[in-house]
Amino acid sequence: MTNQTPYQMLGGDEGIRKLADAFYDAMDELPEAATIRAMHAESLTDIKEKLYEYLSGWLGGPHLYKEKHGTVCLTDPHKPFAIGPAERDQWLLCMDKALEKISASDELKAMLKGPFYNIADFLRTRE
């Protein structure tokens, strides 16, 4: 077991950027994620940047999202969307695929499984 933060285990800033990119690439490519992909703009450039900024701080690195946006409230941006268990699970599938794509260690995947589920489930807007 390591004493490193997930941020460090992913390789710091570069690793977080790769994870955010791989996550939205998976969302863009997986037919199983079509419902949540439709909730996003045609271009994923801006949202990739926001996820990168958010994950940086959330995983133990610099708090880029808070520094840039002044808050880390995730519920407000998600309120307009119908997010239930199916959408949560699509999000989790994309994150699993992203972690695989960037060759995250089994230890890191296990470490993040519960927290990623909790945050995805917390953002549901319907049952």
The domains of the chain are located at 10-122
Assess whether pLDDT exceeds 90 at residue 40.
Answer: yes
Give yes or no for a contact between 94 and 33, defined as CB atoms under 8 angstroms apart: yes
Q: What is the pTM of this model?
A: 0.93
Helix, strand or coil for residue 52? helix
The pLDDT of residue 3: 85
Pick the range with the lowest mean pLDDT from 14-18, 69-73, 87-91, 119-123: 69-73
Query: Which CATH entry fits the domain spanning 10-122: 2.40.37.10, 3.40.50.1700, 1.20.200.10, 1.10.490.10?
Result: 1.10.490.10
Q: Who wins on pLDDT, 3 or 29?
A: 29
Assess whether pLDDT exceeds 70 at residue 1.
Answer: no
Mean pLDDT, the chain, rounded, equals 94
The pLDDT of residue 2: 65
* Phi, psi dihedral angles at 72 (to 5 degrees): -125, 30
Q: DSSP label at 95?
A: H
